[in-house]
């Protein structure tokens, strides 16, 4: 995974490093069980103090993202998806997660359709249910999935999903980093589609660093979007003095946006921006996950004979 660090920034190097590693794990750029560069290696690569790298790794370990293996190094921690991925019901699990994966595994189409017909007869899903404890992030995910699939999408907090009434007719979806929490709250016989976040390299692909005098505004209702945007843009070399941040929950947040050379925002806030702004939407969900949701929705709405 490629990392960016800017030494001339008010954002601590430890925070720049830790944030990018977290995003790398969630987006699957860093795989479960993958060994991370040693403290010495990263320190030498970026010309920074080894204590800075050690502090970032300790923070990530405390938060459950990585694990130290004595005498071996630092590794990406494997999240336990538990019953959400029940291997004893392989075909049914594949059907209830991603139809595309089932086809790639070589199951005959007739067999898949037959098993899916039985499954749909029990409870025909007619919408996606986004399970996410953070309300603002949940609203953004709902907007992205609606836009990508054209399917009905609703949202629920973490504890709401324990109520079966919220799950009636729903295909549950959640972010990969919420797998363990969702597993503990969902009824044991309920599966859930896990979504990957877009990777940092994918977000920055094709982007050029704007001139130092160009004002860039980052606007969102989700505080973490503003925080991550700040960290990533500064680490990528954008002058911190050229950045302006707006919380779209605050009154008058849209005033003066037309003066910005570029407005970076999320998929939901983008629909509320003045029409003549130059906008760059940074989407949260990885393209691969959106494709899988579209495939799943297409299969659900296809007549089964």
**pTM passes above 0.85:** no
The count of other CB atoms within 10 Å of the CB of residue 73 is: 15
Do 228 and 23 meet the contact criterion of CB atoms below 8 Å apart?
yes
Q: What is the pLDDT of residue 83?
A: 45
Residue pLDDT, tens place only, 43-90: 999 899 999 999 999 999 988 889 999 889 999 987 655 444 433 334
Strand pairing partners for 173? 130, 193
Which stretches of the chain drop beneath a pLDDT of 50?
A: 82-96, 98
Q: What is the pLDDT of residue 223?
A: 94
Across the chain, mean pLDDT equals 82
Q: What is the pLDDT of residue 119?
A: 60
Q: What is the pLDDT of residue 98?
A: 44
């Amino acid at each position: 995974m490629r990392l960016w660090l800017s030494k001339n920034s008010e954002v601590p190097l430890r925070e720049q490093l830790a944030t990018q590693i977290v995003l790398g794990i969630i987006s699957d750029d860093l795989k479960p069980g993958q060994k991370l560069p040693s403290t010495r290696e990263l320190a030498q690569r970026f010309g920074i103090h080894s204590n800075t790298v050690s502090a970032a790794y300790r923070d990530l370990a405390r938060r459950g993202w990585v694990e130290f293996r004595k005498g071996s190094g630092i590794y990406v921690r494997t999240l336990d998806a538990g019953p959400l991925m029940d291997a004893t019901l392989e075909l049914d699990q594949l059907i209830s997660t991603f139809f595309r994966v089932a086809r790639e595994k070589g199951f005959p189409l007739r067999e898949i359709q037959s098993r899916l017909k039985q499954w749909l007869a029990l409870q025909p899903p007619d919408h996606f249910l986004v399970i996410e404890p953070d309300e603002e992030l949940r609203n953004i995910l709902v907007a992205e999935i609606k836009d990508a699939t054209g399917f009905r999408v609703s949202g629920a907090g973490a504890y709401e999903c324990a109520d079966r009434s919220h799950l009636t007719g729903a295909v549950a979806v959640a972010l990969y980093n919420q797998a363990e929490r969702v597993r503990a709250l969902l009824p044991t016989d309920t599966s859930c589609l896990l979504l990957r976040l877009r990777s940092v390299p994918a977000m920055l692909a094709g982007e050029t660093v704007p001139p130092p005098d160009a004002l860039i505004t980052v606007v969102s209702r989700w505080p973490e979007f503003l925080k991550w945007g700040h960290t990533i843009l500064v680490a990528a070399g954008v002058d911190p003095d050229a950045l302006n941040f707006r919380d779209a929950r605050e009154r008058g947040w849209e005033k003066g946006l037309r003066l910005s050379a570029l407005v970076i925002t999320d998929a939901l806030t983008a629909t509320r921006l003045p029409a003549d702004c130059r906008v760059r939407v940074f989407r949260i969900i990885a393209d691969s996950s959106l494709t899988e949701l579209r495939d799943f929705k297409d299969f659900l709405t296809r007549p089964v004979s």
